[in-house]
Amino acid sequence: MSLGKNLELLSNANGVAGREDEVRNLMVELLKPYADEITVDRLENVIAVKKGKKDTPKVMLAAHMDEVGLMVKTITKDGFLQFTKMGGMDDRVLLAQKVKVLTEKAQLPAVVGSKPPHIQKEEERKKVIQHDELFIDIGAASREDAKAMGVKVGDPVAFDVNYVKTGKDTALGKAFDDRAGCAVLIETLKQLNHTNCTVCAVGTIQEELGLRGAGTAAFGVDPDVGLALDVTFTGDVPGVREFDTTVKMGKGPALTVTDSGLVTHPKILRWLMDTASQNGIEYQLETGLMGTTDAARMSLTRQGIPSGTISIPARYIHSPAGFISIKDLENSAKLAALAVRKIQDYF
């Protein structure tokens, strides 16, 4: 299947951090045709292996399957759902969003509500309504009614946004962080139909809660090199200073030089930059101070694993909907596959 089609399937699937099963099943199905072996480990990371020749480096490619979302915390006696956030999100993006409560039985359509602005006091209207003052309305009449609808404490809640292809090269949808990376992971493995080194394509869990799956998966896989496929925010919207980021959507994959958890190993950066230049792939360099990726955790696993990140520029990450360039996705996969092919020249 095409990269765009896979992105659509992955974006529309739900995998709020800690509840990645729907995405995991999809990943198994989509990775299977290109893998020699596929397993789901004990924490439910997906590991697809393409076996290489003996005595060649082993590379772990990681894309996280989870997305930021909400989780039911309490059910009020009037049938409203109070919630916690699963992953980092600005409280300002939550109010009035359409969401889906993912119960064991069904997906319940819902909206994030608040006390009506009409009756808020002057000073209340000026401040951000914190998430603990918001609630999810499923149209239940009471706590008993909500329970009868199948809701229980701990149920995940995902944003209700459908993928749509729009503009010349862009798509709008939810959870591009990191389903875009998942789609690139599949495409990379597809393009690596012949490779000398062993490639482990891993869909990781709970990245948004602290890079958790990447740590245990990297320990198990024990690769020589780690490469995270993730997204990064962009500065190509009004009000962003060049100092804060120069990354733009549609200008190619961004290579992380530093982020809050990683200074990329110089050899990794050289390997990726050389591959891009030699193949005429436009790329961007990124030095962010906020946010990190699975690469940070992989690099500190066991006795240390040189790791880096190919980041796909995506607008409005960690919010209900974002934009991404399909061309950037294609170039990210191309870069990852070409880099893996020549890994022996570097490691």
Q: Which residues bind Zn ion (CB under 5 A)?
A: 177-178, 230
CB 231 to Zn ion: min, Å: 6
Nearest-5° Cα angle at 196, 194 to 197: 115
CB 177 to Zn ion: min, Å: 4
Nearer to Zn ion, 198 or 307 (CB): 307
Measured distance CA(247)–CA(255) in Å, rounded:
10
Nearest Cα residue to 110 out of 130, 87, 81, 75: 81
122 belongs to the catalytic site? no
Measured distance CA(338)–CA(276) in Å, rounded:
8
Q: Which of 20, 207, 208, 330 is catalytic?
A: 207
What single DSSP character describes residue 252?
A: -
Measured distance CA(58)–CA(13) in Å, rounded:
30
Nearer to Zn ion, 65 or 172 (CB): 65
Dihedral over Cα of 178, 344, 283, 334: its sign: negative
172-to-12, 157, 169, 220, 323 alpha-carbon distances in Å: 11, 20, 10, 35, 5
Tally the residues of the chain. Answer: 347
Nearer to Zn ion, 177 or 259 (CB): 177
CB 123 to Zn ion: min, Å: 36
Nearer to Zn ion, 178 or 330 (CB): 178
137-to-75, 124, 151, 279 alpha-carbon distances in Å: 10, 21, 12, 52
Nearer to Zn ion, 22 or 66 (CB): 66
Nearest Cα residue to 231 out of 323, 312, 329: 312
CB 217 to Zn ion: min, Å: 15
Catalytic residues: 207
